[in-house]
Amino acid sequence: MTEKKENLLVDDAGQVIDLNNYASFEALVDLKNYRKTSTLLLEVMDNDLAPQAQTGDVLLLDTIGQFKGEGIYALDLKITEQVREEQVLAYVQRQGYEFLLQKPGVEAPVRRLMPQQIKFLGKAIGVIKGK
């Protein structure tokens, strides 16, 4: 029997993906100098962040609970007392006291939010591109 070489990526939560099922890996930060806390794999379910991340791609997140420079983040949002959005993916940058959340693939691509409206779940440090 031929031995199949495994090419698995395991995040700190124990999730596993087989990298043989994906086309490539694109680092979004300088991985040699980036100090991560812990990692989480998160599948992209829409094309809101295209071309950086699309349906079928997997984001490698650093599960930091704060803004750590502009980039793609997973967030929970509290817009009003009644309106909450969970596990939102957006490109985030700081502008003064506000954060700009950008999703190029949606009708209203930019939203401005105050820091108290955002709970940072993690920053994307890499994209594993689907085939």
**Residue showing tokens 């003064």:** 96
Please name the amino acid found at residue 124: A
Give which of 114, 75, 109 is closest to 98, Cα–Cα.
114
Q: Is 97 exposed, middle or buried (0-12, 13-18, 19+ CB in 10 A)?
A: exposed
Domain boundaries, the chain: 8-130
pLDDT in tens, 43-93: 999 999 988 899 999 999 999 999 999 999 999 999 887 779 998 999 999
CATH top-level class of 8-130: mainly beta
pLDDT in tens, 33-53: 888 889 999 999 999 998 889
